Amino acid sequence: MGRADAANSGAISPPATERGRRTRQKLLEAATSEFGERGFHETSISEITRRAGVALGSFYTYFESKEAIFKALVREFSDGVRQAAATGIEDSRDSFEKERDALSAFLDFAREHKEIYRIIDEAEFVDPASYRAHYENTALRIHDRLKAGMVSGDFNKELEEAHAWAVMGMNVFLGLRYAVWARPEDDFEAIPEIARSILTNGLSAPD
């Protein structure tokens, strides 16, 4: 857990059986679709359970309320972004490749889970602590990568936390445009390289 993780997962307790874990996952997947299509306020627990094929009473075995499953989804998406980026940079050769590959992994994740944008945006009002934790933890991970790049000599020595937030802001809006609002003619493979060129010109250490 990151230092800014001010919210818990929203679950009553982890399921003890494989069947319980499958049921909980069905509820989360159904809630993702419902919240993504209808939004938080227009979604009901009965609609979630109906979509999941789970008895209404069983919902409360796993979550205390609609707010609790929403909070759990925000945490799931935040963890998904973290895991995607970590996997994406495993073979990166330098700091610039790490940022390019992290963005590429995020774009892939967002294209597969387009609901992330609506759910995270609504969290600002439904669960502000989770919303803030998501962005603060993401910025913290980027800042850690930037500091590592400073140590290796790839990046200049004057990068600060604000640079991490700027990189994150670029990534978030590239994801919105090229994942959620993607067009058939988009060259998806070019986008991470374009972002890399921006970082190369803006963050490189002087010769």
State residue 9's pLDDT score: 45
State residue 207's pLDDT score: 64
State residue 8's pLDDT score: 45
State residue 15's pLDDT score: 82
The two tokens of residue 38 are 């209808």
The pTM for the full model equals: 0.87
Domains of the chain as residue ranges with CATH:
70-203 (1.10.357.10)
The strand ranges marked E within the chain are none
- pLDDT tens for the 207 residues of the chain, in order: 343 443 444 447 778 799 999 999 999 999 999 999 999 999 999 999 999 999 999 999 999 999 999 999 999 999 999 999 999 999 999 999 999 999 999 999 999 999 999 999 999 999 999 999 999 999 999 999 999 999 999 999 999 999 999 999 999 999 999 999 999 999 999 999 999 999 998 877 776
State residue 205's pLDDT score: 74
**Distance between CA atoms of residues 131 and 43, nearest Å:** 19
State residue 1's pLDDT score: 39
**Residue 34: Cβ-neighbour burial (10 angstroms; 0-12, 13-18, 19+):** buried
The two tokens of residue 122 are 């609504």
Angle at 115 between CA 113 and CA 121, to 5 degrees: 130
The two tokens of residue 187 are 């060259």
